[in-house]
Structures are given as structure tokens and as C-alpha cells.
Amino acid sequence: MRTILFSGGITLGSVSPLLPVACYFKERHNKVFWVGTKTGPESSVMNAAQIEFITITASKLRRTLSIKNFIDIFKFVYA
């Protein structure tokens, strides 16, 4: 038995093509996990597909001058 980890989310653009692959491996008795953010829509999709979902903290750097860039540095270190 293998353990397989998938990741992706936010817009579901990467989730849509990977979900059938994850289900394929799950049906063959592999341990399948999906990693994403707790605020993303992928958690409900994985719930419906009965795939174990692990949440992580995500951060990003914006191209504009924003106080959120400073805050996200701490999120990045935490993650």
C-alpha cells in the first residue's frame, strides 16, 4: 500500500483534473491525502469524494505595497 499526497486549490483549476486521479488510487487501496487551505473550496470537494483533507496555512506576496505583505511573512514562517 502506498501513501499518496495531492495538493491544489483556491480556484479548483488544479483540483478538477487531479480528483479523478486521486479517486483512482484510492479505489486501489492506497492511502490518499489532499493538502489545501482551510478557506479554500477544495475541502468540501474532498469531503464529498471521501478523501482525507489536511489543512495548511498559506501566504502570498502581493505586487503592490500592502501591510498584508508584512503579515504574510509571519504566516510563511509559521507554515
Query: pLDDT by residue (tens digit) across 18-33?
Result: 999 999 999 999 999 9
79 pLDDT more than 70:
no
pTM of the full structure: 0.72
pLDDT at residue number 27:
94
pLDDT band with cut points at 50, 70 and 90 for residue 5: very high
- Residue 19 near residue 32, CB atoms below 8 Å: no
